[in-house]
Amino acid sequence: MAAIRVHGSTVSTAAMRVFACLYEKELEFEFVQINMGAGEHKQEPFISLNPFGQVPAFEDGDLKLFESRAITQYIAHEYAGKGTQLIIPESKKMAILSVWMEVEAHQFDPAASKLTWELGIKPMFKMVTDEAVVEENEAKLAKVLNIYETRLTQYKYIAGDCFTLADLHHIPNIYYLMGTRSKKLFDSRPHVSAWVADIMSRPAWLKVMAMKH
């Protein structure tokens, strides 16, 4: 049995965030598929791993975690010597990286997740898209991306000159949105568009994509 286990679904943006991190760090792991359609994430044994009943849940030996961004930060610290360096071992630079991880979680993700749901996931399950929600959240996301466009004229990546967790955390929602009409919000901003092309072509992300087939 592998020491690292991820319980989740390859449809879940939060689970994909963890898979991308594990592949960047070149770590082996076991994927335990949770059948969300059957509600397995709301029942035992899953809710012993995450009482909030959301995927992913994570185990590394005795350590049990949930919340995808807490999991990626654990992996990046615990396995600092392996694979891609996703954090910065200098406190001021790390503080800036933390700022942009918070920006992703509290500015980018709320709007991006709603658009992923309305335009990416709902059509997959033949559910009807709520146009008012799309309009409201495209406007919110556009404002966030204006700030990213300015930031990315100064730096190649969102937290500085290197690819870090702050970039990685964005990838799953951007993956869904690039297959929807919200793609235009990224394409119309040249520096955002170049950043998207760069982070979406990382070999670790291509391995996450391969898990879906």
Ligand X SMILES: N[C@@H](CCC(=O)N[C@@H](CS)C(=O)NCC(=O)O)C(=O)O
Binding site residues, ligand X, CB under 6 A: 12-14, 41, 53-55, 67-69
Closest approach of ligand X to the CB of residue 134, in Å:
19
Cβ closer to ligand X: 60 or 67?
67
Cβ closer to ligand X: 152 or 204?
204
**56 cis-preceded (ω within 30 degrees of 0):** yes
Cβ closer to ligand X: 84 or 173?
173
Cβ neighbours of residue 39 under 8 Å, at least 6 residues apart? none
Helices 13-24 and 203-211 pack at an angle, to 10 degrees, of: 130
Could you tell me the maximum CA-CA distance found in the chain, to the nearest angstrom? 48
Cβ closer to ligand X: 25 or 69?
69
Do residues 168 and 199 touch, judged by C-beta distance below 8 A? yes
Cβ neighbours of residue 99 under 8 Å, at least 6 residues apart? 159
Closest approach of ligand X to the CB of residue 77, in Å:
17
Cβ closer to ligand X: 36 or 96?
36
Closest approach of ligand X to the CB of residue 172, in Å:
8
Question: Where do runs of H (alpha helix) occur along the chain?
Answer: 13-24, 46-49, 68-78, 91-103, 109-115, 131-154, 165-168, 171-177, 183-187, 190-200, 203-211
Cβ closer to ligand X: 11 or 94?
11
Closest approach of ligand X to the CB of residue 67, in Å:
5
Strand order in the sheet with 4-8: 30-33, 4-8, 57-60, 63-66
Closest approach of ligand X to the CB of residue 97, in Å:
18
Closest approach of ligand X to the CB of residue 170, in Å:
13
